[in-house]
Chain A
Amino acid sequence: MQKRVTFDNRLLPYLLVTPQLIITIVFFIWPAGQALFQSLLREDAFGTSSEFVWFENFVRVIEDESYLNSFRVTAIFSISVTVLSLAIALVLAVMADRIVRGGTTYRTLLIWPYAVAPAVAGALWGFLFNPRIGVLAYGIESIGVNWNYFLNGDQAMLLVVFASAWSRIGYNFVFFLAGLQAIPRSLIEAAAIDGAGPARRFWTVIFPLLSPTGFFLMVVNIVFAFFETFGVIHAVTQGGPSKATEILVYKVWSDSFRGLDLGGSAAQSVILMAIVVGLTVVQFRYIERRVHY
Chain B
Amino acid sequence: MVENRPFGTLLSHLVVLFGVLIVCFPVWITFVAATHDQAALLRPPIPLWPGSHFFENMETILFAGVRSSRSAPVAVMLLNSLVMAVGIAVGKIAISIIAAYAIVYFHFPLRMVFFWMIFITLMLPVEVRILPTFEVVSNLNLLNNYGGLIIPLIASATATFLFRQFFLSVPDELTEAARIDGAGPMRFFWDVLLPLSRNSIAALFVIQFIYGWNQYLWPLLITTEESYYTVVMGISRMLNVVDAAAEWNLVMATALLAMLPPVVVVIAMQRQFVRGLVETEK
A-to-B contact residues, CB < 8 Å: 1-7, 9-10, 12-14, 16-17, 19-21, 23-32, 34-35, 38, 88, 91-92, 95-96, 98-100, 102, 106-128, 130, 132-135, 138, 166, 169-171, 174-175, 178, 185, 188-189, 192, 198, 201, 216, 220, 227-228, 230-231, 234-236, 238, 249, 252-253, 256-257, 262, 265-266, 269, 272-273, 276-277, 280, 287
Contacts and interface: CB of A to CB of B under 8 A. Distances in A.
Nearest to A98: B12
A115 B216 CA distance: 13
A208 to B, nearest CB: 17
Q: Is the interface of A mostly helix, strand, loop or mixed?
A: helix
Given A35-B131, A95-B16, A117 B23 contact: no
Given A95-B12, A127-B30, A174-B274, A116 B41 contact: no
A20 B130 contact: no
A192 B1 CA distance: 11
A256 B123 contact: no
A35 B133 CA distance: 9
B102 A220 contact: no
Given A6-B106, A99-B16, A269 B117 contact: no
Nearest to A220: B281
A166 B220 CA distance: 23
Interface of B: 1-3, 5, 8-9, 11-13, 15-16, 19-20, 23-27, 29-30, 33, 41-42, 44-46, 48, 94-96, 98-99, 101-108, 111, 114, 117-118, 120-125, 127-137, 140, 151-152, 154-155, 160, 167-168, 172, 175-176, 179, 184-186, 188, 210, 213-214, 216-217, 220-221, 232-233, 235-236, 239-240, 246, 248, 251-252, 255, 258-259, 262-263, 265-267, 270, 273-274, 277-278, 281-282
A231 B282 contact: no
B174 to A, nearest CB: 9
B20 A234 contact: no
Contact of B102 (A5, A17, A198): A17
Nearest to B215: A117
Given A16-B102, A117-B216, A95 B129 contact: no
A231 B232 CA distance: 9
Contact of A23 (B48, B95, B267): B95
Contact of A231 (B9, B106, B216): B216
Nearest to B233: A119
